[in-house]
Structure 1
Amino acid sequence: MTLQNMKYIIEIANQQSISKAAKSLYLSQSTLSTAVKEVESSLGITIFNRTNRGITLTYDGEDFIKYAKEIVQQSDYLMNRYQHRNYIPMRFSVSTQRLPFAVRAFKKLLETLNLSGYDIAIRESPTHLVIRDVAIGKSELGILALHESHLDTIKKEFAINDLVWNELDLLNIYVFIRKEHPLAHRPMLSLEDLKDYAFVTYDQELNSSQYTEEIIFYEILNKNIHVNDRCTKLALIRGYDCFSIGPDLPNSNADTFHKGLGGIVAIPLKESVEPLHVGYISRLNTNLKPMAKDYIDLLKNEISNLADR
C-alpha cells in the first residue's frame, strides 16, 4: 500500500465513481481499479461496494478513508513545511535565560530585517536548557548571565559539550520594585530592608540552581514566590509589594490587561555582591551566520546601556 494509492482511493470516494475520479486525476480507470485491488488485497478488506449505480463505501471502507485522509494530510503538511523552508533565505535561533536585554536585542534585529522570508526564533529557558539547545544545534547562540563564583564550574560543562564562552561585560545588580512600593523612595536597599517582602524568583532544577541568572538564591530569604516565566514575574512585581533582584527587569507596557498597575523602578542593592558575567555560547569550530553576528552587535549595545546605568 502506497501513499499514492491512498490518494487515489480518497478521490474515488469523493467522486463516488471510478470513471469520474479517473477523469479528475487524468488517469485510466484500469489504473485506479488496480490501485484499489492492491490495497484491498494487502489489508484483507473490501473498501467499495460496486453496483450498477456506482460505488459506495463499505463499513471497512469508511474506516479506511478516515485514517487515510489523516495520513495524506500529514504527508502534505510535511511536504509543504520543508519544501517551503528550502526557499527561506535566512534562519536563526537564539536561546537565552530570562534576560530582558536579550529580548530587546532580538526585537531590534527584527526591525532591521528587510527580507522576503525568514525563519527565526528566540527561546527563554532555564540555564541548563540554554546550554542543551546550543549543544544539539537547536539554537546558534545561547545568552547567559553567570555568577563569578560558578564561572569556572560551568565553563567545564561548556567544554564537555564542545561550546565556546564569549564574555561581553559585567553587570551590576539592582532591586526591582513597583513605584508604589513602600521602599520605592529609598536611594539604596539592603536585604534587611526587604526581609518583610516576598522575593519573586524563577524555578530552576535542583542540579542546575547554581547556574541561575538571579544573583541571590531564594533559600536565604523568608518569603519566596516561584514563577516559570518573565511575564508572570513582571505582573507580580507591578501589582504587589514584592521584589526581584538582578541586572535587568524593565517596565513592560505591552500587556494592556495590566494597565494602571504602575511601572517598575531599579534601586541599587546595598550589599556588596558579585557582578554577573554576561556573554554568549556558541558551538566550537562553527562559523556564525551573518544574522547571528548582527544579533550579537545589537546585544552588545543593549548590555552597554545597562552597564552605563
Structure 2
Amino acid sequence: MRIKQLDYIVKIVELGSINEAAKHLFITQPSLSTAVKELELEMGIQIFQRTQRGMILTTEGTEFLSYARQILEQVDLMEEKYKGTETRRRLFSVSAQHYAFAVHAFVQLIKSYEKNEYEFTFRETQTNNIIEDVSTFQSELGILYLNTFNEKVIRKLLKEKQLIFHPLFTAQPHVFVSKKNPLVGKTSVTLSDLENFPYLSFEQGQFNSFHFSEEILSTLYHKKSIRVSDRATLFNFLIGLDGYTISSGVLSRELNDENIVALPLEVDEVMEIGWIHPAQMSLSPMGEEYLRYLKEHIIDYGFTILTNE
C-alpha cells in the first residue's frame, strides 16, 4: 500500500467520480482505476461500488476511508515537522444552511492557511443536500438546526444515513429586517406585527417539505411569500421590499450587510443549531480547527455552547 493510493481514494470520494478525480490528479482514468483495484486486492476488500451514478463507498470502504484520512493527516504533520514544507494541498469541505456565522468561521479557517496550497469548499445549500453531502463524504461536516417540529423527521434521516447531530447552541427565533423597516425600534415583534410584510424563505428544491425548511413555523400561511436560493438575494429583498425572514438572530458584524437588523420574535419556539458528522469517523484536525472557530464566533455573539454532546 502506498500513500499515493490513499490520496487517490480520498480524491475519488470528494469528487464522486473516478473521471473527475483522474483529471484533478493529472493521471489517466485507466491508471487510476488500476491503482484502486490493486489496493482493493491487497487489502482484501471492496472499497467502491461502481454504479451508473459514479463510485459509491461500500461499508468496508467507508471504514477504510476513515483510516486513510487519519494516515494522510499524520503524514502531513510529520512532513511539516521534519521537512518544513507543505507537500499536499489542504482539502476541506463544509455544507451548511444559510448562516453567516458558519461562513465567518470558514473565513477564519482559510486565513490560518493563507501561506499553504489549499482547496476549500463551502456549500450554502438546501437541508437535504447538507445531509447527503456529509453522508457521501462530499463534506466533512454539515450545519443545520432542529426544533420540536422537524426533529423527528430529521433525526430519522440522520440515523438512516449513519450521521450524528452534535448540538452547538440554542437560539430564540428572531426576524431579520431592514434597518428602515417600520418595525425597527420595537423591543420584539409578534406574528400579527408581521402580517402585512413580505415573508422570505429559502427554497428546498424537490425536498420542499415543511420539515426541511430553514425557517421555523414553516406551516404558517403568509399573505405575501417569496422563496429565494441564496442569502445575498434574500437580504436584498429584505431591504428593497421591507420583507422579513425568521432565523436564529446571529448576524455577523464583519460579513453581513449593516442595513440588516435582528428583532426577537414572540413565539414559544427554540432552535437548536448544531453540526452533523458520520458516526463511524472522527473529525480531521482541520475539522476540529473549524469547529473551534465556529464556537468562538458563537460565544462572541453572546450564546452559550452546549456541552451535552
TM range (shorter): 0.5 to 0.7
Aligned 1:178-197 pairs, distance under 5 A:
178-197=178-197
Take 2:255 and 2:127, find their aligned partners in 1: how far apart are those partners? 26
Q: Do the aligned partners of residues 203 and 78 (structure 1) sit closer, same or farther apart at CA in structure 2, a change above 3 Å counting?
A: closer
Aligned 1:111-130 pairs, distance under 5 A:
111-130=111-130
Take 2:148 and 2:302, find their aligned partners in 1: how far apart are those partners? 16
Q: Do the aligned partners of residues 271 and 248 (structure 1) sit closer, same or farther apart at CA in structure 2, a change above 3 Å counting?
A: closer
Q: Which residue number corresponds to residue 264 of structure 2?
A: 268
> Is the CA contact (8 Å cut-off) linking 1:93 and 1:138 kept in structure 2?
yes
Take 1:235 and 1:277, find their aligned partners in 2: how far apart are those partners? 27
Take 2:136 and 2:201, find their aligned partners in 1: how far apart are those partners? 28
Take 1:99 and 1:241, find their aligned partners in 2: how far apart are those partners? 21
Which residue, out of 282, 286, 290, partners 1:287? Answer: 282
- Is the partner of 2:192 in helix, strand or coil? helix
Structure 2: 5+ residue stretches without partners:
1-19, 28-85, 305-309
> Is the CA contact (8 Å cut-off) linking 1:100 and 1:250 kept in structure 2?
yes
Q: Deviations over 1:192-239 (max 9, x none)?
A: 111111011111245543122211326422111111111100111122
The two structures, once aligned, show a CA RMSD in angstroms of 2.8
1:291 positional shift:
0.7
Q: Do the aligned partners of residues 147 and 121 (structure 1) sit closer, same or farther apart at CA in structure 2, a change above 3 Å counting?
A: same
1:159 positional shift:
1.2
Aligned 1:242-261 pairs, distance under 5 A:
242-248=243-249, 250=251
> Is the CA contact (8 Å cut-off) linking 2:249 and 2:264 kept in structure 1?
no
Take 1:286 and 1:103, find their aligned partners in 2: how far apart are those partners? 24
Q: Do the aligned partners of residues 156 and 79 (structure 1) sit closer, same or farther apart at CA in structure 2, a change above 3 Å counting?
A: closer
Take 1:219 and 1:294, find their aligned partners in 2: how far apart are those partners? 39
Q: Do the aligned partners of residues 225 and 249 (structure 1) sit closer, same or farther apart at CA in structure 2, a change above 3 Å counting?
A: farther
Q: Which residue number corresponds to residue 236 of structure 2?
A: 235
Are positions 1:226 and 2:222 aligned together? no
Are positions 1:296 and 2:296 aligned together? no
Take 2:98 and 2:287, find their aligned partners in 1: how far apart are those partners? 19
Q: Do the aligned partners of residues 308 and 214 (structure 1) sit closer, same or farther apart at CA in structure 2, a change above 3 Å counting?
A: same
Q: Do the aligned partners of residues 134 and 79 (structure 1) sit closer, same or farther apart at CA in structure 2, a change above 3 Å counting?
A: closer
Take 1:240 and 1:197, find their aligned partners in 2: how far apart are those partners? 8
Q: Which residue number corresponds to residue 3 of structure 2?
A: none
Are positions 1:200 and 2:200 aligned together? yes
Take 2:141 and 2:250, find their aligned partners in 1: how far apart are those partners? 22
Take 2:158 and 2:141, find their aligned partners in 1: how far apart are those partners? 13
> Is the CA contact (8 Å cut-off) linking 2:210 and 2:219 kept in structure 1?
no
Q: Do the aligned partners of residues 254 and 287 (structure 1) sit closer, same or farther apart at CA in structure 2, a change above 3 Å counting?
A: closer
Q: Which residue number corresponds to residue 53 of structure 2?
A: none
1:307 positional shift:
4.7
Answer with 150-159 or 288-297: which moved more.
150-159
Q: Deviations over 1:228-279 (max 9, x none)?
A: 1111001111222111111146378879xx9xxx71111111232x211111
1:189 positional shift:
0.8
Take 2:298 and 2:157, find their aligned partners in 1: how far apart are those partners? 24
> Is the CA contact (8 Å cut-off) linking 1:95 and 1:141 kept in structure 2?
yes
Q: Do the aligned partners of residues 109 and 191 (structure 1) sit closer, same or farther apart at CA in structure 2, a change above 3 Å counting?
A: same
Take 1:114 and 1:254, find their aligned partners in 2: how far apart are those partners? 19
Q: Which residue number corresponds to residue 63 of structure 2?
A: none
State TM-score, norm by structure 2. Answer: 0.66
Q: Which residue number corresponds to residue 37 of structure 1?
A: none
Q: Deviations over 1:153-180 (max 9, x none)?
A: 3112111111111111111211111111
Q: Do the aligned partners of residues 252 and 236 (structure 1) sit closer, same or farther apart at CA in structure 2, a change above 3 Å counting?
A: farther
Structure 1: 5+ residue stretches without partners:
1-76
Letter in 2 for 1:209: F
Runs of 4+ residues over 6 Å off in structure 1? 77-80, 251-255
1:78 positional shift:
7.3
State TM-score, norm by structure 1. Answer: 0.66
Letter in 1 for 2:24: R
Number of corresponding residues: 227
